[in-house]
Structure 1
Amino acid sequence: MRAIAIDAKEHGGLGSLVDEMHKLRTRVFAGRLGWQVKIEYGRERGEYDALNPTYILALTDHGGVAGCARLLPTTGPTMLSRTFPQLLPGGRLRSKSTMIESSRFCLDTRVGRRGGRFLHEATLKMSAGIIEWSMSNGFDETVTATGVRLKRILHRARWPMTHLGGVQLIGKTMSVAGILPADQASFDRVCPSGYRSDLRRLQRVAA
Protein backbone atom coordinates (compact mmCIF):
# COMPACT_ATOMS: atom_id res chain seq x y z
CA MET A 1 0.00 0.00 0.00
CA ARG A 2 1.28 3.48 -0.88
CA ALA A 3 0.13 7.09 -0.55
CA ILE A 4 -0.29 9.45 -3.49
CA ALA A 5 -1.47 13.04 -3.91
CA ILE A 6 -3.77 14.20 -6.71
CA ASP A 7 -3.88 17.96 -7.05
CA ALA A 8 -6.32 20.03 -9.11
CA LYS A 9 -4.20 19.75 -12.27
CA GLU A 10 -4.31 15.95 -12.04
CA HIS A 11 -8.06 15.45 -11.42
CA GLY A 12 -8.69 14.71 -15.08
CA GLY A 13 -5.55 12.70 -15.84
CA LEU A 14 -6.12 10.46 -12.83
CA GLY A 15 -9.89 10.52 -13.15
CA SER A 16 -10.38 6.79 -12.62
CA LEU A 17 -8.82 7.02 -9.14
CA VAL A 18 -10.85 10.13 -8.32
CA ASP A 19 -14.00 8.33 -9.43
CA GLU A 20 -13.16 5.33 -7.25
CA MET A 21 -12.56 7.70 -4.34
CA HIS A 22 -16.06 9.19 -4.72
CA LYS A 23 -17.54 5.67 -4.73
CA LEU A 24 -15.62 4.84 -1.54
CA ARG A 25 -16.96 7.98 0.11
CA THR A 26 -20.49 6.87 -0.82
CA ARG A 27 -19.98 3.45 0.78
CA VAL A 28 -18.54 4.96 3.96
CA PHE A 29 -20.47 8.17 4.58
CA ALA A 30 -23.88 7.26 3.13
CA GLY A 31 -23.73 3.50 3.65
CA ARG A 32 -21.74 2.67 6.77
CA LEU A 33 -22.26 5.92 8.70
CA GLY A 34 -25.72 6.83 7.41
CA TRP A 35 -24.88 10.52 6.86
CA GLN A 36 -27.17 12.74 4.79
CA VAL A 37 -24.75 13.49 1.95
CA LYS A 38 -25.24 14.35 -1.70
CA ILE A 39 -25.02 11.28 -3.96
CA GLU A 40 -24.99 11.48 -7.76
CA TYR A 41 -24.81 8.27 -9.78
CA GLY A 42 -23.36 6.40 -6.82
CA ARG A 43 -20.68 9.01 -6.12
CA GLU A 44 -20.58 11.24 -3.03
CA ARG A 45 -19.59 14.78 -3.99
CA GLY A 46 -20.01 18.11 -2.29
CA GLU A 47 -19.49 21.79 -2.89
CA TYR A 48 -15.94 21.62 -1.55
CA ASP A 49 -14.93 19.18 -4.28
CA ALA A 50 -15.53 22.04 -6.75
CA LEU A 51 -12.84 24.18 -5.07
CA ASN A 52 -9.84 22.38 -6.64
CA PRO A 53 -8.75 20.44 -3.56
CA THR A 54 -5.81 18.09 -3.31
CA TYR A 55 -6.77 14.49 -2.59
CA ILE A 56 -4.53 12.15 -0.61
CA LEU A 57 -5.22 8.51 -1.48
CA ALA A 58 -3.95 5.25 -0.04
CA LEU A 59 -3.64 2.71 -2.85
CA THR A 60 -3.50 -1.05 -2.50
CA ASP A 61 -0.76 -3.05 -4.22
CA HIS A 62 -3.30 -3.67 -7.02
CA GLY A 63 -4.00 0.06 -7.47
CA GLY A 64 -7.38 0.21 -5.72
CA VAL A 65 -8.34 3.08 -3.42
CA ALA A 66 -8.15 1.99 0.23
CA GLY A 67 -8.42 5.43 1.84
CA CYS A 68 -8.82 9.10 1.02
CA ALA A 69 -8.83 12.62 2.39
CA ARG A 70 -9.58 16.02 0.86
CA LEU A 71 -7.25 18.97 1.54
CA LEU A 72 -8.08 22.66 1.14
CA PRO A 73 -6.12 25.73 2.29
CA THR A 74 -7.83 27.57 5.13
CA THR A 75 -7.27 30.91 3.41
CA GLY A 76 -10.28 30.03 1.25
CA PRO A 77 -13.68 28.42 1.94
CA THR A 78 -13.53 25.33 4.15
CA MET A 79 -16.04 22.78 5.39
CA LEU A 80 -15.22 23.59 8.99
CA SER A 81 -15.82 27.32 8.72
CA ARG A 82 -18.90 27.12 6.46
CA THR A 83 -20.64 23.88 7.38
CA PHE A 84 -19.57 23.20 10.98
CA PRO A 85 -18.95 26.63 12.56
CA GLN A 86 -20.72 25.42 15.71
CA LEU A 87 -17.57 23.41 16.48
CA LEU A 88 -15.42 26.56 16.54
CA PRO A 89 -14.98 29.13 19.31
CA GLY A 90 -17.20 32.05 18.33
CA GLY A 91 -18.11 30.18 15.14
CA ARG A 92 -14.97 31.35 13.34
CA LEU A 93 -11.77 29.68 12.17
CA ARG A 94 -8.55 31.63 12.56
CA SER A 95 -7.13 30.73 9.18
CA LYS A 96 -3.53 31.23 8.10
CA SER A 97 -1.39 30.46 5.09
CA THR A 98 0.41 27.57 6.80
CA MET A 99 -2.78 25.72 7.80
CA ILE A 100 -4.58 23.14 5.62
CA GLU A 101 -8.03 21.65 6.21
CA SER A 102 -8.51 17.89 5.97
CA SER A 103 -12.01 16.58 5.38
CA ARG A 104 -13.74 13.44 4.05
CA PHE A 105 -11.11 11.19 5.66
CA CYS A 106 -12.28 7.61 5.23
CA LEU A 107 -11.03 4.05 4.76
CA ASP A 108 -12.12 0.89 3.01
CA THR A 109 -11.71 -1.50 5.91
CA ARG A 110 -12.38 -4.49 3.64
CA VAL A 111 -8.86 -4.27 2.24
CA GLY A 112 -5.46 -4.09 3.87
CA ARG A 113 -4.60 -5.36 7.31
CA ARG A 114 -4.03 -4.27 10.85
CA GLY A 115 -0.72 -2.50 11.31
CA GLY A 116 1.18 -1.33 14.33
CA ARG A 117 -0.71 -0.19 17.44
CA PHE A 118 -3.64 -2.42 16.33
CA LEU A 119 -4.68 0.23 13.79
CA HIS A 120 -5.66 -0.40 10.20
CA GLU A 121 -2.70 -0.13 7.83
CA ALA A 122 -4.47 2.52 5.72
CA THR A 123 -5.07 4.75 8.79
CA LEU A 124 -1.36 5.05 9.47
CA LYS A 125 -0.40 5.48 5.82
CA MET A 126 -3.11 8.08 5.19
CA SER A 127 -2.02 10.02 8.28
CA ALA A 128 1.64 9.86 7.23
CA GLY A 129 0.68 10.91 3.70
CA ILE A 130 -1.23 13.97 4.90
CA ILE A 131 1.70 15.04 7.07
CA GLU A 132 4.28 14.42 4.34
CA TRP A 133 2.28 16.35 1.73
CA SER A 134 1.65 19.22 4.16
CA MET A 135 5.34 19.59 5.02
CA SER A 136 6.31 19.42 1.33
CA ASN A 137 3.90 22.25 0.51
CA GLY A 138 4.59 24.71 3.31
CA PHE A 139 1.85 23.75 5.76
CA ASP A 140 2.65 23.03 9.41
CA GLU A 141 -0.87 22.45 10.78
CA THR A 142 -3.91 20.43 9.73
CA VAL A 143 -7.34 21.47 10.96
CA THR A 144 -10.34 19.18 10.78
CA ALA A 145 -13.85 18.45 12.00
CA THR A 146 -14.11 14.81 12.92
CA GLY A 147 -15.99 12.28 14.96
CA VAL A 148 -14.79 11.53 18.46
CA ARG A 149 -14.09 7.93 17.42
CA LEU A 150 -11.64 9.00 14.70
CA LYS A 151 -10.04 11.49 17.09
CA ARG A 152 -9.31 8.59 19.45
CA ILE A 153 -7.90 6.54 16.59
CA LEU A 154 -5.54 9.38 15.64
CA HIS A 155 -4.46 9.61 19.27
CA ARG A 156 -3.61 5.89 19.21
CA ALA A 157 -1.65 6.56 16.02
CA ARG A 158 0.36 9.08 18.10
CA TRP A 159 -1.01 12.06 16.18
CA PRO A 160 -2.94 13.79 18.97
CA MET A 161 -5.40 16.59 18.27
CA THR A 162 -5.65 19.92 20.08
CA HIS A 163 -9.33 20.81 20.49
CA LEU A 164 -10.63 24.11 19.14
CA GLY A 165 -14.03 23.85 20.83
CA GLY A 166 -16.25 21.44 22.69
CA VAL A 167 -17.73 18.13 21.59
CA GLN A 168 -21.15 18.41 19.94
CA LEU A 169 -23.66 15.99 18.48
CA ILE A 170 -23.99 16.56 14.72
CA GLY A 171 -26.56 14.23 13.22
CA LYS A 172 -25.77 10.92 14.89
CA THR A 173 -22.05 11.60 15.40
CA MET A 174 -20.33 13.13 18.43
CA SER A 175 -18.02 15.59 16.69
CA VAL A 176 -15.14 17.90 17.50
CA ALA A 177 -12.86 20.34 15.67
CA GLY A 178 -9.15 20.38 16.27
CA ILE A 179 -5.64 21.00 15.00
CA LEU A 180 -3.05 18.34 14.22
CA PRO A 181 0.65 19.23 13.82
CA ALA A 182 2.26 18.59 10.44
CA ASP A 183 5.95 18.36 11.27
CA GLN A 184 8.80 15.89 11.10
CA ALA A 185 8.31 14.68 14.67
CA SER A 186 4.65 13.86 13.96
CA PHE A 187 5.57 12.10 10.71
CA ASP A 188 8.20 10.00 12.48
CA ARG A 189 5.71 8.94 15.16
CA VAL A 190 2.88 8.11 12.75
CA CYS A 191 4.81 6.60 9.85
CA PRO A 192 4.47 2.78 9.73
CA SER A 193 7.24 0.45 8.67
CA GLY A 194 7.36 -0.08 4.92
CA TYR A 195 5.67 3.28 4.21
CA ARG A 196 5.87 4.30 0.54
CA SER A 197 4.56 7.38 -1.23
CA ASP A 198 4.66 9.14 -4.58
CA LEU A 199 3.82 12.53 -3.06
CA ARG A 200 7.05 14.30 -3.96
CA ARG A 201 7.18 12.77 -7.45
CA LEU A 202 3.62 13.89 -8.27
CA GLN A 203 4.37 17.39 -7.00
CA ARG A 204 7.30 17.65 -9.44
CA VAL A 205 5.15 16.38 -12.32
CA ALA A 206 2.42 18.93 -11.54
CA ALA A 207 4.83 21.85 -11.15
Structure 2
Amino acid sequence: MQILTVSPDRHVEHSNLLKQMHRLRATVFGDRLEWDVKVTDAGERDEYDDLEPTYILAVTDDTKVVGCARLLPALGPTMLEQTFPQLLASGSLGASAGMVESSRFCVDTTLAAGRGGGQLHLATLTMFAGIIDWSMANGYDEIVTATDLRFERILNRASWPMKRLGDPVAIGNTVAVAGTLPANRESFERVCPHGYRSITVEDHNRQIRSAA
Protein backbone atom coordinates (compact mmCIF):
# COMPACT_ATOMS: atom_id res chain seq x y z
CA MET A 1 0.00 0.00 0.00
CA GLN A 2 1.27 3.47 -0.90
CA ILE A 3 0.45 6.96 0.29
CA LEU A 4 0.23 9.31 -2.66
CA THR A 5 0.10 13.07 -2.20
CA VAL A 6 -1.79 14.82 -5.00
CA SER A 7 -1.06 18.54 -4.88
CA PRO A 8 -3.10 20.97 -7.04
CA ASP A 9 -0.51 20.97 -9.84
CA ARG A 10 -0.87 17.17 -10.09
CA HIS A 11 -4.67 16.91 -10.20
CA VAL A 12 -4.71 16.39 -13.97
CA GLU A 13 -1.82 13.92 -13.88
CA HIS A 14 -3.67 11.78 -11.33
CA SER A 15 -7.21 12.39 -12.59
CA ASN A 16 -7.98 8.66 -12.74
CA LEU A 17 -7.07 8.20 -9.08
CA LEU A 18 -9.10 11.27 -8.12
CA LYS A 19 -12.12 9.81 -9.98
CA GLN A 20 -11.74 6.70 -7.81
CA MET A 21 -11.50 8.94 -4.75
CA HIS A 22 -14.79 10.71 -5.54
CA ARG A 23 -16.52 7.36 -6.09
CA LEU A 24 -15.13 6.06 -2.77
CA ARG A 25 -16.44 9.17 -1.03
CA ALA A 26 -19.87 8.57 -2.59
CA THR A 27 -19.87 4.97 -1.36
CA VAL A 28 -18.81 5.87 2.17
CA PHE A 29 -20.59 9.16 2.83
CA GLY A 30 -23.62 8.73 0.58
CA ASP A 31 -24.37 5.00 0.64
CA ARG A 32 -22.91 3.66 3.90
CA LEU A 33 -23.19 6.64 6.28
CA GLU A 34 -26.18 8.21 4.46
CA TRP A 35 -24.92 11.74 5.01
CA ASP A 36 -26.58 14.63 3.21
CA VAL A 37 -23.97 14.99 0.48
CA LYS A 38 -24.20 15.68 -3.24
CA VAL A 39 -23.61 12.51 -5.24
CA THR A 40 -23.62 12.25 -9.04
CA ASP A 41 -22.50 9.59 -11.48
CA ALA A 42 -18.99 11.00 -11.02
CA GLY A 43 -19.08 10.48 -7.26
CA GLU A 44 -19.27 12.82 -4.26
CA ARG A 45 -17.81 16.30 -4.40
CA ASP A 46 -18.52 19.75 -2.97
CA GLU A 47 -17.43 23.36 -3.31
CA TYR A 48 -14.25 22.79 -1.29
CA ASP A 49 -12.92 20.53 -4.03
CA ASP A 50 -12.81 23.66 -6.21
CA LEU A 51 -10.32 25.40 -3.89
CA GLU A 52 -7.23 23.52 -5.13
CA PRO A 53 -6.79 21.20 -2.15
CA THR A 54 -4.07 18.65 -1.63
CA TYR A 55 -5.41 15.10 -1.49
CA ILE A 56 -3.82 12.28 0.50
CA LEU A 57 -4.63 8.91 -1.07
CA ALA A 58 -3.98 5.37 0.14
CA VAL A 59 -3.41 3.28 -2.99
CA THR A 60 -2.97 -0.50 -3.22
CA ASP A 61 -0.31 -2.17 -5.33
CA ASP A 62 -2.89 -2.68 -8.08
CA THR A 63 -3.65 1.10 -8.03
CA LYS A 64 -6.97 0.95 -6.22
CA VAL A 65 -7.76 3.95 -4.02
CA VAL A 66 -8.74 2.62 -0.57
CA GLY A 67 -8.43 5.78 1.52
CA CYS A 68 -8.49 9.55 1.07
CA ALA A 69 -8.48 12.90 2.81
CA ARG A 70 -8.64 16.51 1.61
CA LEU A 71 -6.31 19.17 3.02
CA LEU A 72 -6.74 22.95 2.77
CA PRO A 73 -4.95 25.80 4.60
CA ALA A 74 -7.10 26.88 7.54
CA LEU A 75 -6.44 30.55 6.71
CA GLY A 76 -8.55 30.16 3.57
CA PRO A 77 -12.22 29.16 3.36
CA THR A 78 -12.76 26.09 5.52
CA MET A 79 -15.60 23.62 5.90
CA LEU A 80 -15.59 24.23 9.66
CA GLU A 81 -16.17 27.98 9.50
CA GLN A 82 -18.24 28.13 6.32
CA THR A 83 -20.43 25.03 6.64
CA PHE A 84 -20.31 23.90 10.29
CA PRO A 85 -19.70 27.02 12.44
CA GLN A 86 -22.15 25.62 15.01
CA LEU A 87 -19.43 23.12 15.96
CA LEU A 88 -17.12 25.92 17.11
CA ALA A 89 -17.74 27.13 20.67
CA SER A 90 -16.38 30.57 19.82
CA GLY A 91 -18.00 30.66 16.38
CA SER A 92 -14.55 31.13 14.87
CA LEU A 93 -11.68 28.81 14.13
CA GLY A 94 -9.00 31.32 15.08
CA ALA A 95 -6.87 30.01 12.24
CA SER A 96 -3.12 30.47 12.02
CA ALA A 97 -0.51 29.85 9.34
CA GLY A 98 0.46 26.62 11.10
CA MET A 99 -3.03 25.12 10.84
CA VAL A 100 -4.46 22.95 8.05
CA GLU A 101 -8.00 21.59 7.71
CA SER A 102 -8.59 17.93 6.95
CA SER A 103 -11.96 16.91 5.57
CA ARG A 104 -13.64 14.07 3.67
CA PHE A 105 -11.47 11.43 5.38
CA CYS A 106 -12.61 7.92 4.53
CA VAL A 107 -11.26 4.40 4.14
CA ASP A 108 -12.61 1.38 2.26
CA THR A 109 -13.24 -0.83 5.28
CA THR A 110 -14.32 -3.74 3.06
CA LEU A 111 -10.67 -4.28 2.19
CA ALA A 112 -9.85 -7.56 3.92
CA ALA A 113 -6.06 -7.29 3.91
CA GLY A 114 -4.60 -5.21 6.71
CA ARG A 115 -7.05 -5.96 9.48
CA GLY A 116 -6.58 -8.39 12.32
CA GLY A 117 -7.10 -8.93 16.00
CA GLY A 118 -9.57 -6.08 16.37
CA GLN A 119 -6.91 -3.55 15.44
CA LEU A 120 -7.49 -0.51 13.29
CA HIS A 121 -7.19 -1.15 9.58
CA LEU A 122 -3.73 -0.70 8.05
CA ALA A 123 -5.22 1.77 5.55
CA THR A 124 -6.57 3.91 8.40
CA LEU A 125 -3.24 4.08 10.21
CA THR A 126 -1.37 4.65 6.95
CA MET A 127 -3.69 7.57 6.16
CA PHE A 128 -3.17 9.05 9.63
CA ALA A 129 0.60 8.80 9.20
CA GLY A 130 0.45 10.29 5.71
CA ILE A 131 -1.60 13.29 6.85
CA ILE A 132 0.74 14.03 9.75
CA ASP A 133 3.82 13.43 7.56
CA TRP A 134 2.63 15.83 4.85
CA SER A 135 1.55 18.43 7.41
CA MET A 136 4.93 18.50 9.14
CA ALA A 137 6.79 18.62 5.82
CA ASN A 138 4.72 21.63 4.72
CA GLY A 139 5.04 23.71 7.88
CA TYR A 140 1.82 22.79 9.66
CA ASP A 141 1.78 21.70 13.29
CA GLU A 142 -1.98 21.55 13.87
CA ILE A 143 -4.79 19.81 11.98
CA VAL A 144 -8.42 20.86 12.40
CA THR A 145 -11.38 18.78 11.35
CA ALA A 146 -15.10 18.23 11.68
CA THR A 147 -16.07 14.61 12.17
CA ASP A 148 -18.52 12.41 14.06
CA LEU A 149 -18.33 10.68 17.44
CA ARG A 150 -17.60 7.32 15.81
CA PHE A 151 -14.47 8.69 14.15
CA GLU A 152 -13.44 10.49 17.33
CA ARG A 153 -13.36 7.07 19.01
CA ILE A 154 -11.17 5.73 16.18
CA LEU A 155 -8.71 8.57 16.76
CA ASN A 156 -8.60 7.69 20.46
CA ARG A 157 -7.93 4.04 19.63
CA ALA A 158 -5.05 5.15 17.42
CA SER A 159 -3.58 7.13 20.36
CA TRP A 160 -4.09 10.37 18.39
CA PRO A 161 -6.80 12.03 20.51
CA MET A 162 -8.63 15.10 19.27
CA LYS A 163 -9.00 18.26 21.36
CA ARG A 164 -12.59 19.41 20.97
CA LEU A 165 -13.36 22.93 19.78
CA GLY A 166 -16.98 22.76 20.92
CA ASP A 167 -19.75 20.46 22.07
CA PRO A 168 -21.09 17.69 19.82
CA VAL A 169 -24.05 18.77 17.68
CA ALA A 170 -26.65 16.66 15.89
CA ILE A 171 -26.35 17.27 12.15
CA GLY A 172 -28.55 15.19 9.88
CA ASN A 173 -28.36 11.56 10.94
CA THR A 174 -25.10 11.87 12.88
CA VAL A 175 -23.61 13.67 15.87
CA ALA A 176 -20.74 15.86 14.72
CA VAL A 177 -17.84 17.35 16.62
CA ALA A 178 -14.94 19.65 15.72
CA GLY A 179 -11.43 19.46 17.06
CA THR A 180 -7.72 19.87 16.60
CA LEU A 181 -5.04 17.21 16.21
CA PRO A 182 -1.29 17.70 16.71
CA ALA A 183 0.95 17.24 13.69
CA ASN A 184 4.25 16.39 15.31
CA ARG A 185 6.84 13.64 15.46
CA GLU A 186 5.37 12.09 18.61
CA SER A 187 1.93 11.72 17.03
CA PHE A 188 3.43 10.40 13.79
CA GLU A 189 5.38 7.70 15.61
CA ARG A 190 2.30 6.60 17.59
CA VAL A 191 0.11 6.06 14.51
CA CYS A 192 2.78 5.04 12.00
CA PRO A 193 2.37 1.40 10.83
CA HIS A 194 5.36 -0.86 10.39
CA GLY A 195 7.16 -0.32 7.09
CA TYR A 196 6.01 3.25 6.46
CA ARG A 197 8.70 5.30 4.69
CA SER A 198 8.96 8.92 5.78
CA ILE A 199 8.66 11.78 3.33
CA THR A 200 12.11 12.91 4.49
CA VAL A 201 13.77 9.98 2.70
CA GLU A 202 11.72 10.23 -0.50
CA ASP A 203 12.10 12.27 -3.66
CA HIS A 204 9.92 15.30 -2.94
CA ASN A 205 9.10 15.63 -6.63
CA ARG A 206 7.47 12.20 -6.50
CA GLN A 207 5.81 12.71 -3.10
CA ILE A 208 5.11 9.01 -2.69
CA ARG A 209 5.43 7.17 0.60
CA SER A 210 4.46 3.61 1.35
CA ALA A 211 3.53 1.17 4.06
CA ALA A 212 4.35 -2.51 3.80
State TM-score, norm by structure 1.
0.94
Letter in 1 for 2:169: Q
Q: What are structure 1's unaligned runs of at least 5 residues?
A: none
Name the counterpart of 2:147.
146
RMSD over aligned CA atoms reads 1.8
Q: Deviations over 1:165-207 (max 9, x none)?
A: 001111111111000000001000110112246697574358x
Distance 1:172 1:133, change over 3 A: same
Measured in 1, the distance between the counterparts of 2:9 and 2:139 equals 19
Q: Is the 8 A contact 2:134 2:199 kept in 1?
A: no
Given that 2:125 and 2:193 are in contact with CA atoms closer than 8 Å, whether structure 1 keeps it comes out as yes
- The equivalent residue for 1:8 is 8
Q: Which residue of 1 aligns with 2:210?
A: none
In the superposition, relative to structure 1, how do residues 170 and 89 fare at CA in structure 2: closer, same or farther (>3 Å)?
Answer: same
Q: 1:52 to 1:116 in 2, by over 3 A?
A: farther
Q: Which residue of 2 aligns with 1:187?
A: 188
Q: Work out the CA distance in 2 between the residues paired with 1:16 and 1:79.
A: 25
Output aligned runs, 1:158-197, within 5 Å. 158-196=159-197
Q: Which residue does 1:61 correspond to in 2?
A: 61
Matched residue count: 206
Match of 1:12, SS?
coil
**TM-score (normalizing by structure 2):** 0.92
Structure 1 consecutive aligned stretches of length 4 or more whose deviation exceeds 3 Å: 196-203
Q: Once structures 1 and 2 are overlaid, which stretch shifts more, 112-121 or 81-90?
A: 112-121
Structure 1 residues 178 and 200: alpha-carbon distance in aligned structure 2, compared to 1, 3 A threshold: farther
Task: After superposing the two structures, state which structure 1 stretch, 15-24 or 114-123, moved more.
Answer: 114-123
How far apart, in 2, do the equivalents of 1:77 and 1:23 lie? 24
Following superposition, the deviation at residue 50 of structure 1 comes to 0.1
Amino acid at match of 1:160: P
Match of 1:52 in 2: 52
Structure 2 portions without partners, runs of 5+: 208-212
> More deviation in 113-122 or 31-40?
113-122
Contact 1:75–1:96 (Cα < 8 Å) also in 2: yes
Distance 1:139 1:168, change over 3 A: same
- Give the alignment of 1:82-121 within 5 angstroms: 82-111=82-111, 112-114=113-115, 118-121=119-122
- Whole-Å separation in 2 of the counterparts to 1:199 and 1:26: 33
Q: Judging changes above 3 Å, is the alpha-carbon distance between structure 1 residues 201 and 38 closer, same or farther for their aligned structure 2 residues?
A: farther
Residues 1:81 and 2:90 aligned together? no
Distance 1:142 1:75, change over 3 A: same
User: Where is the helix percentage greater, Structure 1 or Structure 2?
Assistant: 1
Q: Give the AA of the match of 2:92.
A: R
Give 2:180's aligned amino acid: I
